[in-house]
Chains A and B, each alone.
Chain A
Amino acid sequence: MRVEYINPFVESAFNVMKEVLQSDVKRGELYLKSTSMPVMGVAAIVGLAGDVEGRVLFDMDRPTALAIASAMNGEDITTMDDLAKATITELANMITAQAVTKLHELGFRFDLTPPAIFTGDNMEVSNQDVEALIVPMETPQGKVEINVAIRERA
């Protein structure tokens, strides 16, 4: 993954989360991963196209998703209903869109697909041969892992 792409994603994830949650967000150590990864329970995915191809996956467990949805809506959400799902989807959309805007300013052309959300137990995402950058974020609501896999169109 090109070095230029890393910062926009890290920065926008940090900024957006801090803003919507109105609280302290910490960024963990970045690392690369290429094996299949278990999904913690709730995963929002945004596809990328244009000069590049790839996707961004936001992974968190169910209590974290509910806590984030509650914080963003200013009310207590206890079940993974439509509102909760829409909120998490929106969070994914905001972060990715802000990153893509930053990249656009740097001269990279990206398009994004509408986000999709997956919920369930014991899920696993495997796309073989794709190396992903993992950006772990610690929020008071719980841990969110942002998994970015982008590659240049050959």
Chain B
Amino acid sequence: MSVQAADKSDAGVRHDEKKERADKIDFKMVTFSLAGKEYGIDIMNVKEIASAGRFTYVPNAAPFVRGVYNLRGDIISIIDLRIMFHLPAERKDDDALESLLILRIEDHAFGVIVDNIDKVVGVSRAGIQPPHPIFGDINVKYIKGIIENQGKLYIILNVEKLFAPKSEEAPAEALAPAARMAAAPAPARPREQGAASASADVNADFVKETLFAFKRFGVSSVNEEWFKVRYGQWSSSRKATDIQLKEQPEADQFLETFYSPCTGELWSEAYADAVVAAMPRFESKSINVWNPGCGKGYETYSLAVALRRSYPEARIKIWANDSDLLAISMAPNMVFTPENVPEVYRGMMVKGRNGFTFEQSIRDSIFFEFHDVMNSNPVPPVDIILCRDTVSFLSAADQNKLLSDFCEKAKHGGAVVLGSNERMPMDGWNRSGESPVSVYVKEA
């Protein structure tokens, strides 16, 4: 008995200790596997993850360089970590997709092939143990340390070292840790902005990561202008130690200024008129609209009414979809109290059993669908795409997919309505309308 009790209390102490350490998460890493073993890379070095294949072979390159790859216009080198570390690498077909980590080191991007990308793990910097000099597979100088997380040991790679230009690497290798420290600030130097801005970048990156983790808000070229301004306000109004978003309410607070006017309610007459005025005049007898991410349907009804007022003769058809089943199931039968809706809508409402609803002709013009825009979108070519504050709440890769769907589905001369703080990063679109209206017209 007594032995057991002692064991238990011992375990309790250890547990507390561990808990205390785990409480302070100040280091996040992307974990992956190579030849069945777990590795991690500091998330600050990881730009994104991707899967790709058909790399373009580069003659006379080192064996671990699989080739180059065109990542949305940037040509990046692809390095196979397994070959680099002399680990067994499964040779896939030329067409097969490999798991890629896109790393950012100084100003360069690299693609690194690994076996499997696992997840993002948050750990405490204090828990990282230095590598033991007798480590096998990988040369010790490329290892930052070892960390234990949920029963697994992760080897944290030092990617700065791994991909540093050869000339810098030689002396660092000779002088070991001291030289490594000295070499570390080097990346900041060419930028001529000093250490302060480097740490600001790191903070901004961290805020981006946490926005995505808490709110699935992906900072990208769609909303980067807003993010920069907002981040500036945020960081100047807070203490340097208090910039990062630690909890969901803080992320909500950060996003407060992002949302477009009249979110979650029927549009005011002024806003609806401004949106329609920013769009080109449609001459055709029928107007097709696609409204991905319509939520409860307020904006869908608002646009249906605005179009009806401007084009009383046209046949209006709106495909509205959302992947939130609860929100979208309420949409077809939404009930209003007339006192709470702007006057312009009242003429188009009829009294039903439970309250006022839009008249049948308006409701017949809208198809509410339970649909995930990441699956294939079976909408016909459309004149208008209404998608406010939806694109931003996707990962960068999904944003690109959806935006290219927009390019494909919009007719020439068609318009896309984005959120007030969003812009269309694709080519072939011209901005129209003044803030807070963000309309882009596709070139004819």
Residue positions of A touching B, CB distance < 8 A: 1-4, 6-7, 30, 32, 34, 128-131, 133, 151-152, 154
Contact A3 B372 (CB under 8 A): no
10 closest Cβ pairs, A-B complex: A34-B375, A129-B376, A131-B375, A3-B368, A32-B372, A154-B380, A2-B369, A3-B328, A3-B329, A1-B370
Size of the B side of the interface (Cβ < 8 Å), in residues, is: 16
Closest to B364 in A: A107
Contact A30 B325 (CB under 8 A): yes
Output the least CB separation between B78 and chain A (Å): 27
Per the bound structure, the CA–CA distance linking A55 and B328 in Å amounts to 22
Q: B275 contacts the other chain (Cβ, under 8 Å)?
A: no
User: What residues of chain A lie closer than 8 Å to B376, measured between beta carbons?
Assistant: 34, 128-131
| A129-B378 in contact given A2-B369, A32-B371 (Cβ < 8 Å) | yes
Output the least CB separation between A100 and chain B (Å): 19
Contact A3 B378 (CB under 8 A): no
| A133-B370 in contact given A3-B328, A3-B331, A4-B332 (Cβ < 8 Å) | yes
Contact B372 A2 (CB under 8 A): no
Per the bound structure, the CA–CA distance linking A128 and B369 in Å amounts to 19
User: What residues of chain A lie closer than 8 Å to B323, measured between beta carbons?
Assistant: 32
| A32-B369 in contact given A3-B328, A3-B329, A154-B380 (Cβ < 8 Å) | no
Q: Assuming A6-B329, A32-B375, A34-B376, what are 14 further A-B pairs, CB within 8 angstroms?
A: A1-B369, A1-B371, A2-B370, A3-B328, A3-B332, A3-B368, A3-B370, A4-B368, A32-B370, A128-B376, A129-B376, A129-B378, A133-B370, A152-B367
Contact A3 B369 (CB under 8 A): yes
A-B contact pairs, 13 of them (CB 8 A): A1-B369, A1-B370, A1-B371, A2-B367, A2-B368, A2-B370, A3-B369, A6-B370, A32-B370, A32-B375, A34-B372, A129-B378, A131-B376
Output the least CB separation between A106 and chain B (Å): 10
User: What residues of chain B lie closer than 8 Å to A133, measured between beta carbons?
Assistant: 370
| A131-B329 in contact given A151-B378, A154-B378, A154-B380 (Cβ < 8 Å) | no
Contact B371 A131 (CB under 8 A): yes
User: What residues of chain A lie closer than 8 Å to B325, measured between beta carbons?
Assistant: 6, 30
User: What residues of chain B lie closer than 8 Å to A131, measured between beta carbons?
Assistant: 371-372, 375-376
Number of A-B contacts (CB under 8 A): 42
Output the least CB separation between B3 and chain A (Å): 46
Per the bound structure, the CA–CA distance linking A133 and B371 in Å amounts to 9
Closest to B330 in A: A3
8 Å CB interface, B327-386 against A: 328-329, 331-332, 367-372, 375-376, 378, 380
* Chain B 63-80 interface 0/1 with A at a Cβ cutoff of 8 Å (1 = within): 000000000000000000
User: What residues of chain B lie closer than 8 Å to A4, measured between beta carbons?
Assistant: 332, 368
Per the bound structure, the CA–CA distance linking A128 and B376 in Å amounts to 9
Per the bound structure, the CA–CA distance linking A2 and B325 in Å amounts to 11
Closest to B317 in A: A152
Per the bound structure, the CA–CA distance linking A133 and B368 in Å amounts to 15
User: What residues of chain B lie closer than 8 Å to A151, measured between beta carbons?
Assistant: 378
Output the least CB separation between B152 and chain A (Å): 29
Per the bound structure, the CA–CA distance linking A107 and B346 in Å amounts to 26
Output the least CB separation between A74 and chain B (Å): 37
User: What residues of chain B lie closer than 8 Å to A34, measured between beta carbons?
Assistant: 372, 375-376
8 Å CB interface, B367-416 against A: 367-372, 375-376, 378, 380
Closest to A130 in B: B376
User: What residues of chain A lie closer than 8 Å to B370, measured between beta carbons?
Assistant: 1-3, 6, 32, 133
User: What residues of chain A lie closer than 8 Å to B331, measured between beta carbons?
Assistant: 3
Per the bound structure, the CA–CA distance linking A35 and B332 in Å amounts to 28
User: What residues of chain B lie closer than 8 Å to A30, measured between beta carbons?
Assistant: 325
Per the bound structure, the CA–CA distance linking A29 and B328 in Å amounts to 15
Output the least CB separation between A151 and chain B (Å): 6
Output the least CB separation between B162 and chain A (Å): 35
User: What residues of chain B lie closer than 8 Å to A154, measured between beta carbons?
Assistant: 378, 380
Per the bound structure, the CA–CA distance linking A152 and B366 in Å amounts to 12
Output the least CB separation between B93 and chain A (Å): 20
Closest to A131 in B: B375
Output the least CB separation between B169 and chain A (Å): 44
Output the least CB separation between B345 and chain A (Å): 21
Per the bound structure, the CA–CA distance linking A6 and B332 in Å amounts to 12
User: What residues of chain A lie closer than 8 Å to B380, measured between beta carbons?
Assistant: 154
Per the bound structure, the CA–CA distance linking A130 and B376 in Å amounts to 7
Per the bound structure, the CA–CA distance linking A7 and B325 in Å amounts to 11
Per the bound structure, the CA–CA distance linking A1 and B369 in Å amounts to 5
Output the least CB separation between A129 and chain B (Å): 4
Output the least CB separation between B337 and chain A (Å): 23
Per the bound structure, the CA–CA distance linking A130 and B369 in Å amounts to 14
Per the bound structure, the CA–CA distance linking A34 and B371 in Å amounts to 10
Closest to A33 in B: B375
Per the bound structure, the CA–CA distance linking A151 and B380 in Å amounts to 12
User: What residues of chain A lie closer than 8 Å to B369, measured between beta carbons?
Assistant: 1-3
Output the least CB separation between A51 and chain B (Å): 11
